[in-house]
């Protein structure tokens, strides 16, 4: 089966063919570390991490780079506000970022390069552009000359003339054209700066991603991703800088996710309508938040509200119940060696559902459809479990493996083998006491014990194979 990816550059779904067979180079625009991330920031991080996980599942060796922007206007302003250095600010929020990412089961990238640690590469790049005539310096500022780069606007579908007319920002009068953008910014009093051929200063925003992505992935690489708001100008400018410099295609597949909205408005720090990951994760597990994000296709807009999270929790509960019930049977330890018709049927269903799941993911990472096959299989498993017969151990394990691989390793929405319920002695005793009472048909006492356990967050379920208990 072939993987198809929607490429912003061509506005079409295309078959994914990596530059080098079996290997994928991927660059993800990461956070600017001046504050806690919000759930809107988390959307691309989760989405594209799933892309990475799925590529790995398909057997690709993936090199995954996510940058940390640790120098720009926002960093400088925030540091001033807090009366600390930009470096101190960066250190703090890089740590906080990883705490949040961890709470969302987001695995670390292979490399998390920081802009301030790549000043040398950035200067090199700007120097090259200047030599080739794509950049010009004015009083210590260096700008990219957009008019020199043919193809400017190919990613965002803008044409240069329209952009010039549409410019609504106050324009730096020294620039040749309003759409020229800064590669290097002259130092201002009290701001961090680095030595350069143009005097002291700091890099512009777009140049860091060009410098770092090419350093780690090569002049031309496979996948570059980010939120849709980065298409213009950020990624458009990255293309211009990089391709002007190397004379070859910068990125083959551009992927952009839709916005996450709050009350149908784009969640953004400047609007102030944000929900911090830190706050949400106090109340909802990472798996639930991931489920919520993955329940819509990544390119669609997604509206955030708490009801959605609660629905996600209930939905996920259904899947967890199923694997929980399978694990209960495994713990009972009574198995049959041979396989009967039911065993064969469920193994067949397992294969079918796995294929459907992969098919959905192959179709531009259609996670909502992929999820539906997880539910479809859960129903089959529940029917299988309901059938009154001793089960085959290998079959039960294969069912768990299905969820471990697809829901666990690829989507990161379940922890199949991770829920080690420590069997506290006290609980065990209470359950035994209740069994005694039930044998005597003393329902009042047995219900009291069950209620008592419920208060402790332990739920009891009576089954033909004995009492089953779980937390929450």
Distance CA 234, CA 228 (A): 10
In the complex, what is the shortest distance from the CB of residue 404 to RNA, in angstroms, rounded to a whole number? 19
Nearer to RNA, 60 or 267 (CB): 267
Distance CA 439, CA 266 (A): 59
In the complex, what is the shortest distance from the CB of residue 87 to RNA, in angstroms, rounded to a whole number? 19
In the complex, what is the shortest distance from the CB of residue 303 to RNA, in angstroms, rounded to a whole number? 6
Distance CA 178, CA 233 (A): 13
CA atoms within 13 A on the CB side of 390: 9
Nearer to RNA, 45 or 60 (CB): 45
Nearer to RNA, 19 or 342 (CB): 342
Nearer to RNA, 43 or 60 (CB): 43
Q: Which residues contact 178 (CB under 8 A, 6 or more apart)?
A: 163, 164, 167, 169, 171
In the complex, what is the shortest distance from the CB of residue 422 to RNA, in angstroms, rounded to a whole number? 20
Q: The tokens 């790995």 sit on which residue?
A: 56
Nearer to RNA, 342 or 372 (CB): 372
Nearer to RNA, 61 or 318 (CB): 318
In the complex, what is the shortest distance from the CB of residue 472 to RNA, in angstroms, rounded to a whole number? 10
End-to-end CA separation in angstroms for the chain: 41
Nearer to RNA, 60 or 313 (CB): 313
Which contacts qualify for 468-472: CB closer than 8 Å, 24 or more apart?
A: 468/324, 468/325, 468/328, 469/421, 469/427, 469/431, 470/324, 470/421, 471/421
- Contact yes or no for 114/68 (Cβ under 8 A): yes
- Contact yes or no for 250/238 (Cβ under 8 A): yes
In the complex, what is the shortest distance from the CB of residue 367 to RNA, in angstroms, rounded to a whole number? 8
In the complex, what is the shortest distance from the CB of residue 113 to RNA, in angstroms, rounded to a whole number? 16
Query: Which residue intervals of 333-460 are DSSP H helices?
Result: 341-362, 367-386, 393-403, 425-439, 443-455
Q: What sign for the dihedral angle of Cα 391, 393, 396, 398? A: negative
In the complex, what is the shortest distance from the CB of residue 323 to RNA, in angstroms, rounded to a whole number? 11
Nearer to RNA, 60 or 298 (CB): 298
Q: Which residues contact 137 (CB under 8 A, 6 or more apart)?
A: 130, 143, 198
In the complex, what is the shortest distance from the CB of residue 405 to RNA, in angstroms, rounded to a whole number? 19
Nearer to RNA, 60 or 109 (CB): 109
Task: Please choose, from the candidates 72, 87, 76, the residue with its C-alpha nearest in 3D space to the C-alpha of residue 184.
Answer: 72
């Amino acid at each position: 089966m072939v993987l198809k990816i929607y490429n912003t550059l061509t506005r079409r779904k295309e078959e994914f063919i990596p530059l080098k067979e079996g290997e994928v180079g991927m660059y993800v625009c990461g956070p600017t570390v001046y504050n806690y991330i919000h759930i809107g920031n988390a959307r691309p991080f989760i989405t594209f991490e799933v892309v990475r996980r799925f590529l790995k599942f398909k057997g690709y060796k993936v090199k995954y780079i996510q940058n940390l922007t640790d120098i720009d206007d926002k960093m400088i302003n925030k540091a001033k506000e807090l009366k600390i250095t930009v470096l101190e600010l960066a250190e703090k929020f890089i740590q906080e970022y990883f705490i949040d990412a961890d709470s969302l089961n987001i695995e670390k990238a292979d490399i998390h390069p920081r802009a301030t640690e790549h000043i040398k590469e950035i200067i090199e790049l700007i120097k090259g552009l200047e030599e080739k005539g794509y950049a010009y310096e004015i009083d210590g500022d260096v700008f990219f000359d957009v008019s020199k780069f043919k193809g400017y606007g190919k990613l965002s579908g803008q044409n240069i003339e329209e952009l010039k007319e549409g410019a609504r920002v106050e324009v730096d009068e020294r620039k040749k054209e309003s759409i020229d953008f800064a590669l290097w910014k002259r130092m201002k009093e009290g701001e961090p700066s680095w030595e350069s051929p143009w005097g002291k200063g700091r890099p512009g925003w777009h140049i860091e991603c060009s410098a770092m992505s090419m350093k780690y992935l090569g002049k031309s690489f496979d996948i570059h991703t980010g939120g849709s708001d980065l298409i213009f100008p950020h990624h458009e400018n990255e293309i211009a800088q990089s391709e002007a410099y190397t004379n070859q295609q910068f990125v083959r597949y551009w992927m952009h996710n839709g916005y996450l909205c709050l009350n149908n408005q784009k969640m953004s720090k400047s609007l102030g309508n944000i929900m911090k990951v830190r706050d949400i994760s106090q109340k909802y597990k990472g798996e639930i938040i991931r489920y919520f994000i993955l329940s819509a296709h990544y390119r669609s807009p997604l509206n955030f509200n708490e009801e959605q999270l609660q629905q996600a929790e209930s939905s996920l509960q259904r899947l967890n119940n199923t694997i929980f019930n399978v694990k209960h049977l495994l713990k009972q330890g009574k198995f049959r060696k041979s396989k009967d018709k039911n065993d064969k049927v469920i193994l067949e269903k397992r294969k079918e559902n796995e294929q459907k799941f992969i098919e959905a993911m192959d179709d531009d990472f259609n996670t909502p459809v992929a999820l539906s096959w997880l539910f479809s299989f859960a129903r089959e498993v529940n029917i299988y479990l309901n059938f009154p017969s001793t089960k085959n151990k290998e079959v039960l394990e294969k069912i768990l493996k299905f969820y471990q691989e697809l829901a666990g390793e690829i989507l990161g929405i379940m922890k199949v083998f991770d829920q080690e319920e420590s069997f506290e002695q006290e609980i065990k005793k209470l359950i035994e006491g209740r069994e005694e009472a039930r044998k005597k048909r003393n329902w009042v006492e047995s219900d009291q014990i069950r209620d008592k356990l419920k208060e402790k967050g332990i739920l009891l379920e009576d089954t033909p194979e004995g009492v089953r208990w779980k937390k929450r």
